[in-house]
Structure 1
């Protein structure tokens, strides 16, 4: 049992290589955390972006080196470096909260495709080569 996060939406993702769980919470503080599945312990809290906190509705691991978090309040989706916990890229000022996202990685594509929903729109993002998973 893991206690603490207030999960709303699809904001839970398990890394099958490390058994680490990425958990987004619908709150302003400690809204993105990494937990160890086996130990049921929080490993770290990801700091908020400098633009301010976002209530997280959706989060995903993006390969071995990054994570994605998106939510409401500042209506933003951001890609975060897994080792430095710094924002590497973001989509800001969206027309509404981001309530879902998904990532498509295939051998035919050199970079993943990220789909983000906001208001009545779907935004498709493809990271630059420096953000390969």
Structure 2
């Protein structure tokens, strides 16, 4: 059971690092946390590839050191299969909430956990 907890903890740590303004501002640091086949469907509905996200990430919300930051809550993870963790949680940034889901995978022993897929769904201001 501790292996499962460790895998989930490592995926959560990676997710939180991707919210760090220093990581968001550095395409090379962010690339280490993102799978080469990464895809995201953002809260706007836009589909992002790895290269598109890395190009835009330094100017996106949550990057400015003195600006608003992502505030995650209720983050939980489940080991779906060896080397595959699913995370779900909510974020708030600048008063805007989103429900989020990420798949993290570890391709081989000794490899780092990397985000393979991310989905963000906006929560209406009066939504539950």
Provide the TM-score with structure 1 as the length reference.
0.30
Q: Which has the higher helix share?
A: 2
Using CA pairs under 8 Å that are at least 6 residues apart, name the structure with larger relative contact order, 1 or 2: 2
Provide the TM-score with structure 2 as the length reference.
0.31
Q: Which has the higher strand share?
A: 1
